[in-house]
Amino acid sequence: MKTIDTHSHYNLAQFDEDREVAIARMNEAEVGTICIGIDLETSKLAIEIARDNENIWACVGQHPTEWSQEWDAVEFAALAEGTNVVAIGECGLDYFREAEREYKNEQVILFRRQIELAIESGLPLMLHIRPEVGTMDAYDDAIAILKEYKTAAPQLTGTAHFFAGDERIAQEFLDLGFYISFSGVITFVKEYEAIVAMVPLDRILSETDAPFAAPAPYRGKRNEPAYVVEIVKKIAEIKDLPLETVEAQLLQNAQTLFHTL
């Protein structure tokens, strides 16, 4: 494994038809990945997929838009103990759609349970934070909650998956000791260049969020972990560093944050 895609979903239905073939393509590209759960069912499947594949690890948790499903504290605590489980999530706050904004309190409660599990299990958080368009509201709420827990649990850490915040928010996460994960969006949205430039290379992670959000030149297609290389290339271009240097550093960052990788 030369490169790591720290956030993908081989456990979702989009890969039901050809999961094994897609994983073989990832291995061929010398890429590894963390398979992310969005609820109890998909978290269990992530663990199964990780068990069967040397270069795949699992992350267990419940997505903020899954707030209507009850949080199963007992089941998730047991899953968090799995040897291939490297993080808790994806969890956080999603205020993107109006329908979700009506359930901020439910989302906050679900988020808190997972922060507490991360502290208990010693695992990092895989954060999904999506604000209302034109605002940083979900980021501000999430950062306030994380700061509250950090006082009693300074070791609490994690990464802001699919980072879509501004420079102020990026700095807040850096100050909290968190990493910033960049997705394929940086390959076609120029506004991200300043943020990629600003975040120190040793605090950046690369990810695809496959099957969603394919990078250029694969836009519109189903995304795959093998395409993470396009994101690493873009980071190297913005940082004006050799691809090999960036690739090695991003892999090392993931190994530092997700210790068992």
Q: Which residues bind Zn ion (CB under 5 A)?
A: 209
User: φ and ψ at 221, to 5 degrees?
Assistant: -90, 170
Nearer to Zn ion, 76 or 249 (CB): 76
DSSP letter string over 179-218? EEEE-GGGGT-GGGHHHHHHS-GGGEEE---TTSSPPTTS
- CB of 29 closer than 8 Å to CB of 226: yes
Task: Round to whole Å and give the CA distance between 197 and 7.
Answer: 21
Task: Round to whole Å and give the CA distance between 68 and 190.
Answer: 36
Contacts (Cβ under 8 Å, ≥6 apart) of 13: none
- The minimum distance between CB 244 and Zn ion, in angstroms, equals 28
Nearer to Zn ion, 14 or 171 (CB): 14
Nearer to Zn ion, 87 or 136 (CB): 87
Nearer to Zn ion, 210 or 251 (CB): 210
Task: Round to whole Å and give the CA distance between 60 and 125.
Answer: 10
- The minimum distance between CB 196 and Zn ion, in angstroms, equals 20
Nearer to Zn ion, 84 or 183 (CB): 183
Q: Which letter, b or e, does each residue of 215-240 get, where b requires 16 or more Cβ atoms within 10 Å of its Cβ?
A: beebeeeebbbbbbbbbbbbbbebbe
Nearer to Zn ion, 209 or 224 (CB): 209
- The minimum distance between CB 108 and Zn ion, in angstroms, equals 20
- CB of 65 closer than 8 Å to CB of 94: yes
Residue 138: CB atoms within 10 Å: 26
Cα atoms in the Cβ-side hemisphere of radius 13 Å centred on 199: 35
- The minimum distance between CB 20 and Zn ion, in angstroms, equals 21
- The minimum distance between CB 63 and Zn ion, in angstroms, equals 8
- The minimum distance between CB 162 and Zn ion, in angstroms, equals 7
- Helices (runs of H) and strands (runs of E) counted in the chain: 10, 8
- The minimum distance between CB 7 and Zn ion, in angstroms, equals 6
Q: Which amino acid is located at 172 in the chain? A: E
CB-nearest residue to Zn ion: 209
Nearer to Zn ion, 63 or 113 (CB): 63
